[in-house]
Amino acid sequence: MSRVAVIGAGAWGTTLAILLAENGHEVVLWAFETDLASELNQLRENKRFLPGFPLPPSITATNRVEDIRPADLALFVVPTQFLRQTARRFRGAIDAGVTLVAAGKGIEEGTLKLPLQILAEELGTNAAAVLSGPNLSQEIARGLPAAAVAAANNEAVASRVQSALMQERFRVYRNDDPIGVQLGGALKNVIAIAAGVIDGLELGDNAKAGLLIRGIVEITRLGVALGARAETFAGLSGMGDLITTCGSRLSRNHTVGEQIARGRSLKEILAGMKEVAEGVPTTIAARELGRKHRISLPITEQVYQVLYETKDPYRAINELMTRSATSE
């Protein structure tokens, strides 16, 4: 048994803590909110973000940074836009030998940095991996089968994460393309917003299938330009995550697109959500990356205009459909 720190007590952080505890690890679950940490310890359930699933006895919640020591593994499960400031709080509390895991999905606004880059800048040269895949918290917490990928430049690091989390109902694969795995997990959220728009407008399965395929082409095009391997986007963190996020009503990003299509403002939608829809800020970052590297991202551009320029969703779909004819 090892001691694992899970930093971030949202739905996914809590789910990962439960999986780790089931695998025999002692888990410290760090919550940003002091009152949430107290509730978790008293009620033995995350009623705020993951109601209905009891916490195993080997999980202890805390709001104190120093309580995570000693740990062999530290999973950062916070939205990417808050990862830098969260990681900075743990300087001095995470020893040099601790393996870091980035379990959030996004691209930092302004810097255009990926989660592993942020952790390296804030916490130094610790061994680090990214965890990604088609992983809906509610389904995994219910015990339904799922698969994920642990990616790192060093195979031993990826194996360490794989070993900590792997179990009968949660299969973890290794991968040595962390750039591609991070980009797949981040960019699919932008496409999921577009998928929500299609569902909200009731445009049908043909339109949605076309969006998914052209979406993965767009993701791959940008990913390869940033140093990822094309084949990574055919895997769990690419097409796998895209299918799940674009098709499930449990997806926050899909919900944003669906509600936009029904006439609600972005501000109103976000104000009513308990957790962050990562695709909303990632749309800004992805658009900037595309322009910086001169990569055509037509779906991302239209999602940006719908979210931030109040473009009519029907008009956005029409412009995608009436672009100049080209080859696949």
Catalytic residues: 188
SS3 202: coil
Number of CB atoms found within 10 A of residue 48's CB: 19
* d(C-alpha 199, C-alpha 208), whole Å: 8
Residue 126's contacts (CB-CB under 8 Å, 6 or more residues apart) are: 94, 96, 97, 98, 99, 100, 119
DSSP line for 158-183: HHHHHHHH-BTTEEEEEES-HHHHHH
* d(C-alpha 131, C-alpha 133), whole Å: 7
Half-sphere exposure of 318 (CA within 13 A, CB side): 5
For CA atoms 94, 96, 101, 107, the dihedral sign is positive
End-to-end CA distance of the chain: 51
Residue carrying structure tokens 């391997």: 229
Residue carrying structure tokens 């302004």: 110
Nearest to 46, CA basis, from 24, 17, 75, 22: 17
Number of CB atoms found within 10 A of residue 64's CB: 11
Beta-sheet strand order (sheet of 59-62): 59-62, 26-30, 3-7, 73-76, 99-102, 128-132, 146-151, 170-175
